[in-house]
Structure 1
Amino acid sequence: MPATARTASLPWSLLLLEPQKLLFSLSSFIAAAITLSIAFEFSLPRPWWALLTVYVTAQPMAGAFRPKVLYRLGGILTGATVSILVVPNLQHAPELLVLCMAAWTGLCIYLAVLDRTPRAFLFQMAALSSAVISFPYLDDPADVFTTTISRVEEMAVAIVSVTVVHSLLQPWSVTPVIQDRAHAFLAHASRWTREALGQRHTRLEYEHRRMLAADVAELGMMAIHLPSNPRPASAGRRMVLGVQKQLATILPLASAAANRLDMLSALAPLDPELARLVEATRTWLSQPASVQYASGTDLAQRCRQLAERQETSPSWRDLLRASLCVRMAEFVEAQVEACGLVQQLGSPVSTSGDWPQRQGEQAFPLARDHGLALLAGLATATAIMLYCAVWILLAWPSGSATAAFAALITCSFAAQDDPAPVLSRYLGATLLTFPLAALYLFAVLPRVDGCGMLIVSLAPALLGIGYVQAMPAWSARALPMFSCLIVALGFLDRFIADFATFINVGLAQVGGIIATIAVAKLFRSVNVSWTARRMIRGNWIEIGQMASMARPFRPVHWTSMAVDRLGQTAARMAIAEGSDALHAADGLADLRIGRNVIAIRRSLPALPAPVQAALRDVLEGIAQLFQTRGRAGEWLPPPASLLANIDVAMASMSAAAHAEPAHPALLALVGMRCNLFPFAAVPRMAGDA
């Protein structure tokens, strides 16, 4: 039975226990047992908070949480320091104190959303720790120093325990996940390109095309966690980053080849030699990755040889044929390189050759949006101020716990466009866990004596929910289940089973979640197309800046940034309305145009002066078009003057002495014309006479 089927429904997944998931749950439980033992042994005041931190920190993939340990500890210390500095000094001005803590939390969330690396956990933990430490003690800040030290000790013990246990038992490595994702991308890219080269269509399903970009972006986020991946045979970080860069290159090359074939087939049937080459490429794409790696070099050489056997004064059809052959060659070469690197992912780094050293360890750049991060920070700060205002106005004794719990949930889901649906599932999982918490508190724990018996009695619940946490389809429900159970039990130095306290704590948790949902619906439920438009707009602005001759030429990592931005829009585009105007903005076409701009600007210094002048007119036209799109925030059709400039530049290059049909700048002009003006009339070239 395939893994996807096993995780499709919870009952079957629980009946068919998987060793890796069971080992993860057992590792988390051992860490929880160690944490509880230390907490009771050293009389830490809130053992339940240490226990909750264990399951908040644990991650199913071993390599996914070790790089975050120092960031989490640093964030806890930062939040604790802010609490100690702010709370005692503003204890006589509660309104100003709430404003300062809300502003601090909002700033931390802004930085966490903006960063998008494991370093974001430093800012997130700083926000969480300051909220959890400060809000329950705003009424009595005199003991805030002792309380802060206790919270830091509890969280630090939990984080260190879960890190050590998971490092020793190694639930599973991130490397197989990366291998599966890379193999899936290669298979998707091969199937998509094979289909696109087989018939006249390049505008495939939006979700299908952008799924490839999403795979690349996700692979890069996984690669960030590799430095602490412990297995000797695991993939090196530099190698994975190299694989990601190759995969990012495949995406625009494959789409460009399909686009040229579509344009060429619209003019006339393919000549026999080119038709055989296209069919050979399709056959090659149907082979396994190992066969592609072995035979791809010869196929790429055939493509380049055909591209070079064109007339000295090429016609428009000749240029399209040369562009198709060169893009197919570049795609095949990138696919071969990627296949070779993916095969090396599972081999020891020491036997993987000198490729990583030659490529360097420069990280795959991430696209960041200050506007979205600012919105998340402002929403978090506003929500916290509203929680505290309601708590203070109602004079609710448990209002401080509600504010702290609501702040914790708000910070946890601040990075999502619309956290309300996730929070609704969070509320449902919390309500389902209350009967289990009541059973433990009033039926099981009164008969427990000692820390050892407590750990044994908790084993069934913690192991069961821990196994759910290891299941990707259900992991989001595990955290509220842990929170409800552990917070409701409220382990202290002595057992207290008070029904009124249990109900009050439960109401505080539910109230915090409901308040968070209400604030999310008011402040965060933005249309996903709004977020997608912002990302597309950022891409337009960068293309315009690259094309502008008045700006420095800085193309380094632009393709990677564009692919990352395209990957971020993938999920949003999938749920946006089909008639939405943002679908008019073809992200892959923009990606190809940006690469063409880079090719022209790199070739510009070596070309004759008349050709340079014609190419500068094209670049300025591209700059104006994309800057106008960026300012307007919507897709605008290119002007006819830009088409005329492109045709003049192509004619100028074709007429130049020693003109090469496969010259990068000339092929870039062909690509621009195909992408910007796909339905324009065939241009008149010297070779058409």
Structure 2
Amino acid sequence: MKADAQAVLFSVKCFVAAMLAYYIALRIGLNRPFWAVVTSYIIAQPLAGAVLSKAVFRLMGTALGATASVILVPTFVNEPAVLSLALALWLGFCFYLAQLDRTPRSYIFLLAGYTASIIGFPSVETPGAIFDTAILRVQEITIGILCASLVHGAVFPRTVTAQLLRRIDIILADAGRWSVASMAGAREARLDLERRRLAVDVLELHQLSIHLPFDTARILPRVRTVRALQDCLSLFLPLASTIEDRLVEVALCRGGLPEPVGALVARVQLWIENDVTKPDREETAALLIADARALEPTAAWVSEPDLVWRDMLLLNLLSRLAEMVATLRDAHILRDQVRSHSVRAVSPRVVALLAGTSSRPLHLDRGLAIRAALGTIATIGLGCAFWIGTAWKEGAGAVLIAGIACALFGGLENPRAMIGRMQLGSTIGLLTSIVYAYTIMPRLSDFVTLAATLAPMLLLMGVLMGKPATFPVGVGILIGFPQTVGLYATYTPAFGAALNGAIAQFVGIGFAMVTVGLFLTIGAEDRVARLARAGWRDVALRARGRAPDSARWLSRMLDRVGLMLPAMSAGSNPGKPLLDALIDMRIGFVAGELDALRGRATDEERAAIADALSGLGNHFGRLSPRDPALPEPGVLADIDRAVAVFARDEELGRRREGLILLTSLRRNLFPAAPAYGAAA
């Protein structure tokens, strides 16, 4: 119900902005004011800051696209086929850049691509007017941008800051429930759901933070603090899943989970459920961390000759439990700093997180981006060949619509289905516009009556665009209705031209549906395989010491987990690939920490770490999704030799760190291996 009310409010604001843009465009004498109406809807966002940022990005993209069209059209004025190819290449190149960005800034490249098409394709047959056409389109689009920014930013604005704070509270609550459920032995399906939410929600925080500098809230959170919180939550994912695994494994060992450790786990659960949001959380967290350190069995290994696998697991469990407590504490401190600039960091870890923030790298698939660009170029090229070959007057409109459809939906998970919904909306819009144009519009004589007459259709369109599930249908109506209904400077009934334009739109969208099915669509299994292969490649690089720092590396791996979710929905066992990705994340994290430990290790320890990481890197470097092989037994032997070497280290801190990391590596790589036992 709340979502419906927000969609209605969004639609009303869109309608007001559109009518304001249309009125201004009419008053200053622009000949195609419907572009101002269309633009005011295209840049509309439920959040005020997102509208303003999108307006800036659209202005930049529009300027780039207009410049490209002004350069390309006169250059190839005498060669329509070459000009069409040049515009297709420009759109494909811009689409490629947009696919590599994967943030709201990608809108710059999308707009640069299809703005050049909007201006250029209709000018192929009238190249002499290209400069005037470009200036007019830029003016019309700019009016739409300014009106939408004004209305959405000033009338009942929903700020990005409020949405960000709400999402942070929900994410932290989910993380708390997940950690408590992990320690309580909850069913795997529930934990899998929580993992899905965390992977996707951390990415959502990143996307929202892009809009923060443009937000209209009175006090804006610092982007650096939001980035630090994202890094903190990224660390939480491998920690919580590790604790879940170690608790299960220790319980299966002889002697089970020691009573003091079980009591500490119960205290951590109570702290997360009841005290993590209280002002004294830092003091309680410090006590829990100290108690976890006191229960570590490291001290016993100084005098006892044998290492026990159960003790190694306990050491690993208690160290990760302490890290999880510290991570949740730091996350809540950062949450308070996001809410208020007066909150100061008291934890050295928070200070380090704030100092180490940088841009968050996301997963990039250049192969898919190139494929999407080539598919778009092929769509435009084939469409232009048909248009020029048949001398169809409205062919430019069909090609233009096909290009816009590819640009808007070609990079999504199921572009053909999205464009199909767009086709449905376009059909509704075209049929309705013809009824309007030849039964209602001739009877209108003033602007107020015109606005009131258009209101039902435009309000319905706005509601559809305000909901993600129906957004493509709303976009289809937007493409099919305003132009065909006759929102020009003067009303000129021309049924034949309107019908030809409607046919061109229908053919263009239908053609885009066919071509994206041929060029842009890949199966769910192939998409998961590409993501898994990219993750394995990064694990291998991290084992070889050639990956970025832990925070940036975890960001990219967590992004891949989120990208796997929709692709896995079509699989028969959607949980397993996700669990494998989480294990890969833990392995890569530990490998990087081991590589960092080499700088402080003895010569014997450095050699042992090098052998273990070399085998690990070779294993992940040759993994194939078609034939995922288990690690070779030699890798296990190298890890066990490294464990034996670190067990003899007389420096307690280095020995502790090495054994914690090697235990994690052994458990994640060889979960079915027999318990470790070696002489100290």
TM-score (norm 1): 0.91
Q: Does 1:408 align with 2:404?
A: yes
Deviation at 1:253, TM superposition (A): 0.5
> What is the CA-CA distance between 1:37 and the residue it aligns to?
1.7
Match for residue 349 of structure 1? 341
Q: 1:123 aligns with which of 109, 117, 123?
A: 109
What is the aligned counterpart of 2:291 among 302, 307, 310?
A: 302
1:99-118, CA deviations, whole angstroms, 9 ceiling, x for partnerless residues? 21111110000001101223
Structure 1 partner of 2:264: 277
Distance in 1 between residues matched to 2:659 and 2:298, nearest whole Å: 16
Aligned residue number for residue 660 of structure 2: 667
Q: Does 1:485 align with 2:481?
A: yes
Q: Give the match for residue 445 of structure 1.
A: 441
Q: Kindly indicate whether the alpha-carbon contact (under 8 Å) linking 1:293 and 1:340 is maintained by their aligned counterparts in 2.
A: no
Give the conservation status (yes or no) of the 8 Å contact 2:547–2:553: no
Q: Can you list the C-alpha shifts for 1:503-559, whole angstroms capped at 9, x where unaligned?
A: 22222221111111111111122102212222221121122112126x587556111
Cα contact 1:87–1:134 (8 A) shared by 2? yes
Distance across 1 between alignment mates of 2:319 and 2:130: 68
Partner of 1:359: 354
Which of 378, 394, 405 pairs up with 1:398? Answer: 394
Of 663, 670, 676, 1:677 maps to 670
Matched residue, 1:561: 556
In structure 1, what is the Cα distance between the partners aligned to 2:640 and 2:340?
52
For the residues of structure 1 that align with 2:491 and 2:352, how far apart are their CA atoms? 59
Spell out the pairing of 1:89-238 with structure 2 (5 A cutoff).
89-169=75-155, 171-199=157-185, 206=192, 208-238=194-224
SS of residue paired to 2:569? helix
Q: Does 1:329 align with 2:322?
A: yes
Whole-angstrom CA distance in 1 between matches of 2:453 and 2:275? 51
How big is the shift at 1:62? 1.0
Counterpart in the other structure of 1:43: 29
User: 1:205–1:394: structure 2 CA closer, same or farther, 3 Å change rule?
Assistant: farther
List runs of 5+ in structure 2 lacking aligned partners: none
Determine which of 562, 586, 594 is the counterpart of 2:588. 594
Closer, same or farther in 2 for the Cα pair 1:58/1:584, shift >3 Å?
A: closer
Counterpart check, 1:638 vs 2:631? yes
C-alpha displacement of 1:622:
1.1
Cα distance, 1:554–1:465 mapped onto 2, change above 3 Å: closer
Q: Distance in 2 between matches of 1:552 and 1:335?
A: 26
Write the distance in 2 (CA, Å) between the matches of 1:665 and 1:69: 52
What is the CA distance between 1:461 and its match in structure 2? 2.8
- Are 2:182 and 2:191, in contact at CA under 8 Å, matched by a contact in 1? no
Aligned residues: CA RMSD: 2.6
CA distance in 1, matches of 2:516, 2:86: 21
SS of 2:29 mapped into structure 1? coil
Other structure's SS at 1:428 match: helix
Q: Return the offset for 1:444.
A: 2.5
Query: Quick one: structure 1 residues 253 and 556, their matched pair in 2 at CA, closer, same or farther if it must change by over 3 Å?
Result: closer
Give CA deviations for 1:556-615 in whole Å, capped at 9, x if unaligned: 6111221122222222223333289x8287111111111111211222122211111111
Bigger RCO (CA 8 Å, 6+ sep): 1
Contact 1:546 1:555 in 2 (8 A): no
Work out the CA distance in 1 between the residues paired with 2:40 and 2:186. Answer: 55
Q: Following the alignment from structure 1 to structure 2, what is the Cα–Cα distance between the partners of residues 584 and 461? A: 43
Q: In the TM superposition, what is the alpha-carbon distance from 1:382 to its structure 2 partner?
A: 0.7
Question: Residues 607-665 of structure 1, C-alpha deviation per residue, up to 9 Å, x if partnerless?
Answer: 211111111111111111111126x7753211100000000100110112234597222
1: distance between equivalents of 2:547 and 2:101?
25
- Distance verdict in 2 for CA 1:289–1:28, change over 3 Å: farther
Could you tell me how far apart the structure 2 residues matched to 1:99 and 1:532 are?
Answer: 34
Pick aligned residue for 1:609 from 603, 606, 618: 603
Tell me the distance in 2 between the aligned counterparts of 1:465 and 1:348. Answer: 39
2:640 alignment counterpart: 647
Q: Distance in 1 between matches of 2:58 and 2:125?
A: 28
Q: What's the CA shift for 1:350? A: 4.8
In structure 2, the residue matched to 1:249 is 235
Number of residue pairs aligned between Structure 1 and Structure 2:
669
Q: Distance between the aligned counterparts of 1:82 and 1:307, measured in 2?
A: 65
Q: Which ranges of structure 1 fall in alignment gaps of 5 or more residues? A: 8-12
Deviation of 1:324 after TM superposition, in Å, equals 0.4
Contact 1:537–1:633 (CA<8 Å) still a contact in 2? no
Query: Taking structure 1 as reference, are residues 625 and 138 closer, same or farther at Cα in structure 2, changes over 3 Å only?
Result: same
1:57 deviation in Å?
1.1
Whole-angstrom CA distance in 2 between matches of 1:544 and 1:227 = 37
Letter in 1 for 2:60: G
Task: Please tell me whether the aligned partners of residues 133 and 148 of structure 1 are also in contact (alpha carbons under 8 angstroms).
Answer: yes
Inter-partner Cα distance in structure 2 for 1:115 and 1:574:
25
Per-residue deviation, residues 267-301 of structure 1 (Å, max 9, x unmatched):
13211111212222333343375259724443233
Mean Cα displacement is larger for which, 592-601 or 228-237?
A: 228-237
Measure, in 1, the Cα distance between the counterparts of 2:493 and 2:83: 34
Question: Which residue pairs with 1:10 in the alignment?
Answer: none
Cα-to-partner distance string for 1:367-405 (whole Å, 9 max, x where unaligned): 222112111111111111111112222322211111111
Relative to 1, partners in 2 of residues 1:604 and 1:170: Cα closer, same or farther, differing over 3 Å? farther
Query: Which residue identity is paired with 2:341?
Result: V
- In structure 2, the CA distance between the partners of 1:357 and 1:43, relative to structure 1 (3 Å rule), is farther
| Contact 2:18–2:37 (CA under 8 A) maintained in structure 1 | yes
Q: Does residue 522 of structure 1 match 2:505? A: no
List per-residue Cα deviations over 1:127-185 (Å, max 9, x = no partner). Answer: 01111111122122222221121111111121122122222225201223223332332
- 1:471 to partner: Cα distance: 3.2
C-alpha contact (below 8 Å) 2:119/2:133 kept by paired residues: yes
Distance 1:448 1:136, change over 3 A: same
TM-score, length basis structure 2: 0.92
Asked if structure 1 preserves the Cα contact closer than 8 Å seen for 2:43 and 2:54, the reply is: no
SS at match of 2:146: helix
Q: How far apart in 2 are the matches of 1:564 and 1:274?
A: 34
Q: Who is 2:577 aligned against?
A: 583
CA deviations 1:295-319 (Å, max 9, x no partner) are 4443233222212664125422111
8 Å CA contact retained: 2:611, 2:638: yes
- SS in structure 2 of the partner of residue 474 of structure 1: helix
- 1: CA distance, partners of 2:588 / 2:475: 43
Q: Which residue in the other structure is 1:548 paired with?
A: 544
- In 2: Cα distance, 1:226 partner to 1:22 partner: 25
* CA distance in structure 1 between the partners assigned to 2:622 and 2:155 by the alignment: 56
* Kept after mapping to 1: 8 A contact 2:601/2:654: no
SS at match of 1:495: coil
Q: What is the letter of the counterpart of residue 588 of structure 2?
A: G
| Map of 1:287 onto structure 2 | 274
Match of 1:25 in 2: 11
Structure 1 vs Structure 2: percent identity of aligned residues? 29
Partner of 1:572: 567
Q: Secondary structure at the match of 2:644?
A: helix
Q: CA deviation at 1:467?
A: 3.3
SS in 2 for 1:71: helix
C-alpha spacing 1:453/1:553, structure 2 compared with 1 (3 Å)? closer
